[in-house]
Amino acid sequence: MDYKGTAPPEYGQFDMPEVPHQVVVQPAAAVTMQAPNVLGDIPAMATCQSCGSRRETAVTFEPNTKTHLLALGICLLGGICCVCIPYCTNSCQTAKHNCSSCGAYLGSYSN
């Protein structure tokens, strides 16, 4: 642009046509947050993916590789009469969580 005889416009000042602004306000959507399913070796509150209910889980314990290895170790050390201890102790087994409403599998926990 040529500014003969006049001073150039200052920084940020331009001749722009005014355009009317239209402000649209949308109502805020309600956001519901759910706590994550944290499963341990005791029944916990969890949301079922199948039926959608939030209830306390039903927990069953099943032997895992750790259980069998502990029983084998006890047997090899000569404690043949104590082999059943890992199978009777919940901390040596996997805790499987199921929905108490519909019975769907929710997850498992092993320490």
Task: For residue 84, count other CB atoms closer than 10 A to its CB.
Answer: 10
Q: How many structural domains comprise the chain?
A: 1
In a domain, 72, yes or no: yes
Domain that holds residue 66: 45-109
Residue 11 has pLDDT above 70, yes or no: no
In a domain, 88, yes or no: yes
Q: 66: burial class by Cβ within 10 Å (0-12, 13-18, 19+)? A: middle
Q: What pLDDT, in 10s, does the model give residues 49-62?
A: 888 888 899 999 99
Residue 16 has pLDDT above 70, yes or no: no
pLDDT at 30: 59
Q: What pLDDT, in 10s, does the model give residues 51-95?
A: 888 889 999 999 999 999 999 999 999 888 889 999 999 989 999
